Amino acid sequence: MNIAQFVPEVKSAAEVYPPEAQAHQTQRWEHLLAKFEEHYGQPAAFIARAPGRVNIIGEHIDYMLFSVLPMAVEADMLLAIRITPQSSTIKIANVLPKYPEREFTVPTAGSGDIEIDGTKLEWSNYFKAGYRGAVEFLRRNGVAEASAPPGMEILVDGTVPSGGGLSSSAAFVCASALAAMASMGVATVDKKELVGLSIVSERYVGVNSGGMDQSASVLGQEGSALYISFDPELTVEAVAFPKKPEMVFLIANTFKTVEKQVTGPIHYNLRVVETTLAAEVLAKMLQLGPLPEDAGPLGASLKGLMGLYFTKNPSEESLEKRLAEVAQIAQGVLYKQEGYTREEIAEILEIPVETLTQKYMTRFPVRAEKFQLQARTLHVFNEAARVVKMYRVLAESSQEENSSKEVLVKLGELMNESQKSCKELYDCSCEELDELCRLAREAGSYGSRLTGAGWGGCSVHLVPKEKAEAVKKAWLEEYYAKLGLSEDKLLEAIVESKPGSGAVLYKLQ
């Protein structure tokens, strides 16, 4: 399916959430609007809303342009907004006092970009990033208001845990871009444009992000997971999980938070560099010629490499088989299991080390002695194949009224294999995530894995409905009890998640 949809304007909170959540969410929206008026002395004119997401399978492959299978969740970021045309100041506050109120001046066409220091952990950076992306987008498209945008007053209420793997960052960036557009008089926003500009925006915050989170947040559909592809263009297909036998997705937070702004150089941004360099090294060693340059966050991608390989070596095999073939080739070519130094990579690519550093490690710096090209590449190709397998199993089982338990077992196995690969090949799990997965499986989960970037944050579990209580009990007694959590925090620990709808703009009369 191609995306030619616009972000809808809704008339009430109730339109956005599943029936059982509507009463509670309506109260939350009303509370936000009341707080807004109390804080700024005038009523708000809009609410921009964008949800978090949970990734079911396809981890760390979006930035290599392979398809992923996430779903939007109910937890979201709400921005209540008033436009202040007489002022050139944007004020942004949060219902949670731990996020202090901030103020900055709107950028006019001559005044340069809004400054964002991506090396600092500052909550309003995410707003600024989405805002800046929207301004740049509108200027490119000749929207007059974008050369001198009006001031705004904003109050934020978010229920997506931060640093928790449910992508509070993308939810915040997408909602902010939407808010910015509303302030500049843009009533209808093409979803695909919003996704595209939000991906670029998130990179202003210092993370060399892929496109999964922003796509899921904007394109979410109630009741469906999303099969999202990025190449050759962004497409999304709704996929349903079997209704029978009954199953639930449980999300369990490790409460180990990871802030990518801080750990990027040894975790997330480093993985983007490793996989990009793996694509370059493979292209060189296999004498495939130059890779397509405009694709991944740093240019080359493993999907681009694979495309080039099969252009030169045409194959009639299925996508899974072709992925297995390139994985096998990569294993042989990138044979150094201890990893590659900068010098070794520069030599293979026949460029000076300085050029290598400048091209791949300057805008998003990384710290590493050795680059693990083989292990990372194997994860990417195999994980991409698991996504395709899951998609096929789901497409086949959705034809049937009653699918069998074996279908759920198969889906669970794919999730378990994904976790193993994230841990062993991608090195992005941690003890806490492993422990939550182990406890869940022992209590009856079919499939358990980390979700999002990993190294902490949340885990996701496919659990037969009748085992859900047992799994929760095991976590509470054997994991959460040790953390000494407050009651509030404990309530946030485990979420039973249903696929939710995507970003919207709520216009008050």
CB of 33 to ligand NG1, least distance (A): 29
Return the one option of ligand NG1, Mg ion, none that residue 210 interacts with (CB less than 5 to 8 A, by type): ligand NG1
| CA distance linking residue 72 with residue 504, whole number of Å | 13
| CA distance linking residue 67 with residue 190, whole number of Å | 21
Q: Which of 439, 481, 486, 477 is nearest to 461 (CA)?
A: 439
| CA distance linking residue 114 with residue 99, whole number of Å | 20
CB of 465 to Mg ion, least distance (A): 30
Number of other CB atoms surrounding residue 504 within 10 Å:
23
Could you say whether residue 453 binds ligand NG1 (CB under 6 A)? Answer: yes
CB of 171 to Mg ion, least distance (A): 9
User: Binding ligand NG1 by CB under 6 A: which of 202, 274, 280, 432?
Assistant: 202
User: Binding ligand NG1 by CB under 6 A: which of 198, 209, 382, 416?
Assistant: 209
Return the one option of ligand NG1, Mg ion, none that residue 151 interacts with (CB less than 5 to 8 A, by type): none
Could you say whether residue 169 binds Mg ion (CB under 5 A)? Answer: yes
CB of 453 to ligand NG1, least distance (A): 3
- Which CA distances in Å does 237 have to 67, 224, 444? 11, 9, 30
Residue of 62, 76, 157, 213 marked catalytic:
213
Question: Per CB under 5 A, which region of 82-90, 116-124, 164-172, 327-335 contacts Mg ion?
Answer: 164-172
3-state secondary structure 96-155: CCCCCCEEEECCCCCCCCCCCCCCCCCCHHHHHHHHHHHHHHHHHCCCHHHHCCCEEEEE
Could you say whether residue 261 binds Mg ion (CB under 5 A)? Answer: no
Radius of gyration of the chain (CA): 23
Could you say whether residue 62 binds ligand NG1 (CB under 6 A)? Answer: yes
CB of 430 to ligand NG1, least distance (A): 13
Clarify whether 213 is annotated catalytic: yes
Closest to ligand NG1 by CB, 59 or 193: 59
What is the maximal distance between C-alpha atoms in the chain?
67
User: Binding ligand NG1 by CB under 6 A: which of 25, 169, 419, 429?
Assistant: 169
Closest to ligand NG1 by CB, 209 or 224: 209
Could you say whether residue 403 binds ligand NG1 (CB under 6 A)? Answer: no
Q: Which of 130, 80, 124 is nearest to 100 (CA)?
A: 124
User: Binding ligand NG1 by CB under 6 A: which of 130, 220, 264, 452?
Assistant: 452
- Which CA distances in Å does 230 have to 187, 212, 295, 427? 26, 9, 9, 25
Question: Per CB under 6 A, which region of 2-10, 207-215, 226-234, 478-486 contacts ligand NG1?
Answer: 207-215
Could you say whether residue 441 binds ligand NG1 (CB under 6 A)? Answer: no
| CA distance linking residue 466 with residue 341, whole number of Å | 51
Could you say whether residue 448 binds Mg ion (CB under 5 A)? Answer: no
DSSP characters over 197-236: HHHHHHHTTT----SHHHHHHHH-BTTBEEEEE-SSS-EE
Residues of this chain that interact with Mg ion (CB under 5 A) are: 167, 169
